[in-house]
Structure 1
Amino acid sequence: MTFGNQTKEVFVPVFNPANPTVEELRGMYVEDNGCVSINAGKFHRKVENSGIKIRTIKGLGYENDCVLLGEATQNVPNMWFTNKSPKAEYDFYTFNGGNATVHVYALPLFPINSKHDTRYGIMIDDGMVQWMTTSAKEYSSQWRLNVFRNSTISTINVNVDKPGKHTLKLICADPGMIIQKVVIDFGGMKRSYLGPNVTYIK
C-alpha cells in the first residue's frame, strides 16, 4: 500500500480451500470466520403432525424472518424426543470440529398460561436434545434487557464431532415459540448487537 512517498505491507488472511467447492456448499449455512449464522425462518425441512404446525413469519425479527414452532393455541408435544417430534431442520457445513457455543435469538414472550413455559429443544445431528427456556420474570433486569433488544439470547455448549455437513434441529416444546436466528460459534464470534450476518451460500 502506497500513500505519498511511503509504502507499507498489509497482510490479509485468506481461506480458500480446494474442497468442498462452492457448488457443493450451495443451499447450506457455512462456517465463516469461526461461526455459522442461521436465519431461523429459512429452514431446509420441517416435521409436523396434525396438532402442531411450523411456519415462517415474514417481516419479523433481526433477519426479517422467524420460525414459529407451533401456534400458541396448539397442543404441547410429548417432551420425550423421537424422530417424529415436530421440528425445523437446518443443514450446515463446518471446517472445524469440537466444542462450540450455540446462541439462540428468540422473540421475548411470556408463557400463554401458568401451565406452560417458554421451552424449545436444540439438537445437533442425532446427538442429545438440550431443552432451553427464555422465561424472565416480568419487570426484572433480564426482562427489560430482552425488551430493549427485542430478543432473548440463550446459550448452550455442544460438541460437533468432526468437520463437514451437519444438521441443527429446533424442536417444538411449549407452543408459540418464535426463533429469530441461531449462531454456532467455534471461537470466531465478535460482540455485536445483531450477531453475525447469515452465512448462507445461495
Structure 2
Amino acid sequence: MSEFIVGVTGGVASGKSEVTRRFEALGVPVADADVAARTAVEPGSDGLAEVVATFGADVLAPDGSLDRAAMRRHVFGDDTARRRLEAIIHPRVRANLRAACEAASGPYAIAAIPLLAEGGGREAYPWLSRILVVDVPVDVQRARVMARDRVDAELAQRMIAAQATRDQRLAIADDVIVNDGPVELLVSHVAALDRRYRALAGAHA
C-alpha cells in the first residue's frame, strides 16, 4: 500500500515520460492517466455506456470500442460537449489512478497526469502528497515539438498555447525538474527526488 503519492506533470514535449521512466527504473510504481483514460471507456465499461447514452451510438466503432475520431468530431469546437465528455471520463480517471497508486507496493507511487493543471490541480486531486512539475523553457519546448512531430513553428506554438501556461503549472508545483539539458542530467535529478520522497513517505507512514 502506497499512501504517499506524487503527481508528475508538465507541458507537451517537456520530458514527463522520460522522467517517469527514470523513477520506474528505481523501482517506483507509476500509474498513467492516459492509460486510465483508455480503461475508463473500454468495451463493456460503464464509462463507455455513459458516453454512448450521452452522445449516441455513432461514437462506436464496428467492434464496439470507442471511435475516437468520431468522438473528436463531436467535441471539436463545442465546449459544452467537451465538458460533458470530461464529466464522464475525468472522475473515472482520478479514481483509477488513486486506486492503482494506493494498491502499489513500495514506500510511494507516482501518478503521471499530463493535464494536471488543466484538470483542476490540487483541488481535483487532493490525495496527491506532492506535485512534481517537469519544466522547460517555451523556446526549447517549441523546438522539441517541431522535431518530434515534424510540424512548423506556428503549429507547435498553437499546441503549446492549448495547454496551461508554464506559470500555471509552476504555481501548483511542490518540486520542479528543469529539463532543458541532456537526458543524462535527469538521472541525478530523479535520484535526488527519489531519496527525498522515500524519506517523506517514511515520515508520513
| Category of TM-score, reference length = shorter chain | under 0.3
Query: Based on CA coordinates, which of the two structures has the bigger radius of gyration?
Result: 1
TM-score (norm 1): 0.28
Q: Flag the structure with higher strand content.
A: 1
Q: Flag the structure with higher helix content.
A: 2
